[in-house]
């Protein structure tokens, strides 16, 4: 009799991570945090190092039919820097590992690295190493980012407390809507190569998908304002999904309010044009790379007038669950339906 086969899709990305983590044993006291947050945390004496790795695969995370190579390089760095930001740390170095098929020329590699180098300049990080190898498929980029922070500044997913205020930066849903526009224009081009993509009126949403920007500006402002969030993570898999992660890690519930959710006018209008519910885009659209965080109520006055921080709800007891209060006042249970990797 053959052994039982379990499909990875039955676990999902985070179920698979939990499954693998069960077999991992931490042996070094310098490992303060291993698997289970946006980055690992390593003791470095009077401060800590935070380390994260993300892998981007052609055909899964980006499509070169509409993603320029420099943008791919920039995005590969930005998504890692976003994880460093989510730990309330400052990025310092990255390594880059890249796998290339023989359809890529030296000029193409230069274009990718022009984006990587632009991101290094933008975030103030050093490219200190990596690896290059051949690929039998398409382009694969793996980046490891290293950051640092004082021990008392590091923010985990697990610190949210009942009555903390739930906040997000920027606006949400744009990356998902941008992806839908890019995919639509790709299909139009494939059907008629003489048709030119109509992207000018969608510049904001397509930009959110093609070249996201990690919110390091907010982390530097936290330092200036003396704010240390009680919990935080970046929004890569959708707001609802990230609320579930913070709730699980912190052992709490959450209530958010529809009329407090930030959405850009172009995102809203384009979602309506595409026949997609804008609030669904906000809740379940991934790759916005904004920050979701909680603050103690005493810190509210420090951020109250910040133009790019939105107070969307509050933390509740775990048994109260996770709810969205609609504009009509109805409380509906939040479901995490963001990006599924498997």
Binding-site residue numbers for ATP are 113, 130-131, 157, 236
- Of 239, 248, 223, 263, the residue nearest 85 (C-alpha): 223
Q: Find all residues with CB under 8 Å of 35, minimum gap 6, and list them.
A: 17, 20, 21, 24
Provide the annotated binding site for Mg(2+). 38, 52-54, 83, 131, 234, 237
Interaxial angle between packed helices 265-274 and 203-210, expressed in degrees from 0 to 180 and rounded to the nearest 10? 90
Whether the Cβ atoms of residue 18 and residue 10 lie closer than 8 Å to each other: no
Beta strand 291-295 with 126-134 is unpaired
Instruction: Report the distance separating Cα 155 and Cα 147, nearest Å.
Output: 13
Provide the annotated binding site for substrate. 61, 287, 339
DSSP for 193-213?
TTSPP--GGGHHHHHHHHS--
Instruction: Report the distance separating Cα 324 and Cα 332, nearest Å.
Output: 5
Provide the annotated binding site. 38, 52-54, 61, 83, 113, 130-131, 157, 234, 236-237, 287, 339
Name the token pair of 254.
């959450």
């Amino acid at each position: 009799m053959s052994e039982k086969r379990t499909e990875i899709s039955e676990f999902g990305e985070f179920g698979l991570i939990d499954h693998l983590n069960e077999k991992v044993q931490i042996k070094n006291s310098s490992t303060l945090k291993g698997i289970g947050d946006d980055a690992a945390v390593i003791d470095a004496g009077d401060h800590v190092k935070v380390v994260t790795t993300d892998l981007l695969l052609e055909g899964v995370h980006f499509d070169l039919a509409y993603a320029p190579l420099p943008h791919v390089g920039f995005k590969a760095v930005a998504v890692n820097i976003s994880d460093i930001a989510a730990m309330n740390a400052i990025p310092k170095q990255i390594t880059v590992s890249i796998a290339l098929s023989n359809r890529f020329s030296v000029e193409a590699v230069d274009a990718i690295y022009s984006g990587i180098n632009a991101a290094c300049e933008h975030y103030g990080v050093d490219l200190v190493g990596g690896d290059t190898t051949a690929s039998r498929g398409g382009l694969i980029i793996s980046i490891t980012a290293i950051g640092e922070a004082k021990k008392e500044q590091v923010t985990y997913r697990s610190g949210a407390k009942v009555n903390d205020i739930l906040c997000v930066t920027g606006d949400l849903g744009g990356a998902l809507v941008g992806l839908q526009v890019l995919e639509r224009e790709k299909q139009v081009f494939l059907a008629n190569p003489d048709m030119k993509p109509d992207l000018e009126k969608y510049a904001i949403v397509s930009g959110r998908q093609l070249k996201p920007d990690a919110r390091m500006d907010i982390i530097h402002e936290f330092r200036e304002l003396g704010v240390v969030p009680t919990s935080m993570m970046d929004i890569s898999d959708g707001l609802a999904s990230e609320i579930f992660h913070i709730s699980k890690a912190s052992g709490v519930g959450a209530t958010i309010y529809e009329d407090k959710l930030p959405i850009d006018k172009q995102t809203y209008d384009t979602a309506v044009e595409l026949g997609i519910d804008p609030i669904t885009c906000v809740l379940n659209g991934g790759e916005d790379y904004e920050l979701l965080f909680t603050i103690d109520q005493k810190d509210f006055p420090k951020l109250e007038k910040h133009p790019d921080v939105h107070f969307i709800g509050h933390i509740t007891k775990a048994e109260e669950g996770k709810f969205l209060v609609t504009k009509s006042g109805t409380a509906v249970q939040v479901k995490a339906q963001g990006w599924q990797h498997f």
